[in-house]
Structure 1
Amino acid sequence: MQSETAGESANHPSGPGETACEPASQRILIVTDAWHPQINGVVRTLERLSEELEAKGCVVEMLTPQGFRSIPLPSYADIRLALVTPWHIARRIRRARPDHIHIATEGPLGMLARRFCLRNGLAFTTSYHTRFPEYLSARAPVPERWSYAWLRRFHNAGGGTLVATPSLAAELAERGFLHVKPWTRGVDTKHYRPDRQQVLDLPRPIFLSVGRVAVEKNLPAFLDLDLPGSKLVVGDGPDLERLRAAYPDVTFVGAKTGEELADIYASADVFVFASRTDTFGIVLLEALASGLPVAAYPVTGPIDVLGDGEGGALLEDLQRAALEAVGISREAARAKALRYSWAACADIFLEHARAAHCGNKPGVVDKPFT
């Protein structure tokens, strides 16, 4: 085996450029900087994806910050950045001997895995989960165009950038991203369902929000609404204590998971999604599966999930949308969620993984593969 400095050889079962189309469905390495103890859509997506891939006979290994020293992300201590070297990543990839590598995030692990793949001529795919340019500019004076230029270079080196919605795919293509591939998300409709026990003792109607309590989620747009009944916020994040103090009439219960979260969904009356910057919003599907009509802005994520508006109300006037959603049937809401499954999410992932090994030339940055 060559040393890292002599090319960081992957010791791959077949040489660069010799990988067949089919092995992408066998041994898969998923590289992600987002992992437990984070509670967010990226982590939930990758958890369920790996479960479905294993159910289909794949061997899945996760390369995550766990097991590495890490430091908190400035201004967001809940997110940890792994302190790793190229040698660490090379060793892990050699040990995994993957038939396909998927880089899910653009953090330290993702950057070093990308570097390894390019240096060794290994095909890989990426996914675009988070609007970091918008999130960063909300916290620091960094122009979005700078961040998008870096992200474009990062993703265009791979054999495909997987995105969750058609509207996001179109947007990224307009920004110069190449090889953008449609993906999807899923929801466990047996776990999230309307007939669960009622656990909320609040004045009705109950307007619910679930997600990180952070600036990018635009929560004040929901909290400032003049609505009857009650407002309930489920989630943790850097803005929790500040918003709890600023809105004493709103019930904040912190992060919830599992059975407790599913019961809360089923006990509320309307799900209000105030974010304008999510790339999808898995919480939308969880709410809909629970029979909860959605009120949201007509932006990427909500417009892709709700489409014609059945199951929710999409309006620039969020208050009007929330009030209209009260009158939408729980059956119509759940019908929207029944169109999604994690099995389909895994099937599409495998299609794109195989395609990355069928004629694409790895290592080309910001240019079409030839």
Structure 2
Amino acid sequence: MRILIATDAWEPQVNGVVRTLTRVVAEMREAGHEVEVIHPEQFHTVPLPTYSEIKLALGAYEPVQERLKSFEPEAIHIATEGPIGLAARRICLEWKLPFTTSYHTRFPEYVSARLPLPLAAGYAYMKWFHKPSGRLMVATPTMQEELESHGFRNISPWSRGVDTELFHPKLREPDIFKDLARPIFLNVGRVAVEKNIEAFAKLDLPGTKVIVGDGPQREELAAKYPEVVFTGAKFGEELARHFACADVFVFPSLTDTFGLVILEAMGAGTPVAGFSAPGPIDIIPGSNAGALAPGKVDGLAEACLECLKLDRAVVRKFAEGYSWKSCAEEFVKNLQPYPEPEKTRFWRRLRRLARLRRKPKAAA
């Protein structure tokens, strides 16, 4: 199948959305699908206000049109709600092309954490954006229930995977934290207000708290909590080694839809402590691979200490049940391809119209 993905989140951004999309694209290509990705690096961009690491594409509408014409996709997926996603959505509606979308970030909560905008405004925008989608893909049952309570429809599950070869307990030796007091409580991700990192930084825990990652709140939190070790961003095997050498992974976010780092920690054999929020509440209960805070906004330290009692071999075994191959297969199953024979007829007609528009008018 010829699959086109339009996304405002792509490399060199470092986050769960990008890791999910790049791995799924690789798996689909491995399975024989032809995949085209439209992403910000192909455009002139400006930094997102309050978060310069994220780039917003300018003037995306006409270039996205041309990409669709040249690629002639059989299925279109719009992964994000930014400028590229908006351009692709508009074109699909104008050309009457079916498309699917996905909900990776709790956008209304994200915006409310940064700007004085009500949640209702954010949800109104998201409902408007996703309403024409043939299927809205979400990562967890909790997220599906939450969106349905806000009036979203046509929701389908799309779970996540983990690279169990990279994120592996074998990387626990040599110990990169040998000079720090044990136990090691680790957080990995964007150091930004919407990730609720301060809830972790201020915990009263034995040993050492370590935060891996960069973001707009890093300097502020490093100055406020000097006892916390901030390492900056890590990648590849070095990142996996941080996961493996930690004793507990702490996931304080209340705005994620899944939390890919949860599975990466578990793949390394490190149990996960989190709040009863989308992601942790869908993965941790009954897994013997982590613990939830007894309260929705407190009790995280209690969950952290509970994780110290868990068997790391059991944690690893649980993570082995997730794979990127099954994640990609579920994604393809959720797509809504343009039906035959309309597909071939549509692109042929579109090419003919384009030629007619370019044809010079005869002299009078």
* Alignment TM-score, normalising by the size of structure 2: 0.89
Tell me whether 1:88 sits opposite 2:88 in the alignment. no
Distance 1:328 1:176 in 2: 39
Partner of 1:169: 144
Deviation per CA, 1:306-342: give whole Å up to 9, x if none: 1325111101200100011111110121122111111
Partner of 2:45: 70
Partner of 1:48: 23
Partner of 1:342: 324
- Which residues of 2 match residues 1-370 of structure 1 at below 5 A? 26-196=1-171, 197=173, 198-201=175-178, 202-315=180-293, 316=295, 317-354=299-336
Tell whether the 8 Å contact from 2:188 to 2:261 is kept in structure 1 after alignment.
yes
Q: How far has the Cα of 1:301 moved from its partner?
A: 0.2
List structure 1 segments (4+ residues) > 6 angstroms apart after TM superposition: none
Tell whether the 8 Å contact from 1:306 to 1:336 is kept in structure 2 after alignment.
no
Distance 2:98 2:207 in 1: 53
Amino acid at match of 2:11: H
Partner of 1:366: none
Deviation per CA, 1:7-39: give whole Å up to 9, x if none: xxxxxxxxxxxxxxxxxxx11111100112210
Q: How far has the Cα of 1:356 moved from its partner?
A: 7.7
Amino acid at match of 1:328: L
Gaps of 5+ in 1: 1-25, 359-370
Distance 1:262 1:63 in 2: 29
Q: How far has the Cα of 1:108 moved from its partner?
A: 0.3
Q: How far has the Cα of 1:76 moved from its partner?
A: 0.7
- Secondary structure of 1:178 counterpart: coil
Cα distance change, pair 144–249 in 1 and its aligned pair in 2 (3 A): same
Tell whether the 8 Å contact from 1:160 to 1:356 is kept in structure 2 after alignment.
no
Distance 1:205 1:140 in 2: 37
Distance 1:128 1:314 in 2: 24
Gaps of 5+ in 2: 341-364
Distance 1:355 1:179 in 2: 16
Cα distance change, pair 326–74 in 1 and its aligned pair in 2 (3 A): same
Q: How far has the Cα of 1:85 moved from its partner?
A: 3.9
More helix by share: 2
Q: How far has the Cα of 1:209 moved from its partner?
A: 0.3
Amino acid at match of 2:283: V
Distance 1:76 1:356 in 2: 37
| Structure with more relative contact order (C-alpha pairs < 8 Å, separation 6 or more) | 1
Distance 2:164 2:60 in 1: 41
Tell whether the 8 Å contact from 2:105 to 2:256 is kept in structure 1 after alignment.
yes
Distance 1:150 1:225 in 2: 35
Deviation per CA, 1:124-182: give whole Å up to 9, x if none: 10000011111111111111111101111111101100000011011111111110111
Distance 2:207 2:289 in 1: 21
Tell whether the 8 Å contact from 2:61 to 2:84 is kept in structure 1 after alignment.
no
Q: How far has the Cα of 1:67 moved from its partner?
A: 2.1
Deviation per CA, 1:284-306: give whole Å up to 9, x if none: 00000000011111111001111
Amino acid at match of 2:320: L
What fraction of aligned residue pairs are identical, expressed as a percent? Answer: 51
- Secondary structure of 2:334 counterpart: helix
Distance 1:309 1:182 in 2: 20
Structure with higher Rg: it is 2
Tell whether the 8 Å contact from 2:74 to 2:337 is kept in structure 1 after alignment.
no
Partner of 1:365: none
Q: How far has the Cα of 1:88 moved from its partner?
A: 1.4
Amino acid at match of 1:286: E
Report the number of matched residues: 333
Q: How far has the Cα of 1:281 moved from its partner?
A: 0.2
Amino acid at match of 2:69: R
Distance 2:10 2:206 in 1: 38
Tell whether the 8 Å contact from 2:267 to 2:316 is kept in structure 1 after alignment.
yes
Tell whether the 8 Å contact from 2:114 to 2:194 is kept in structure 1 after alignment.
no
Range with greater deviation from structure 2 (307-316 or 276-285): 307-316
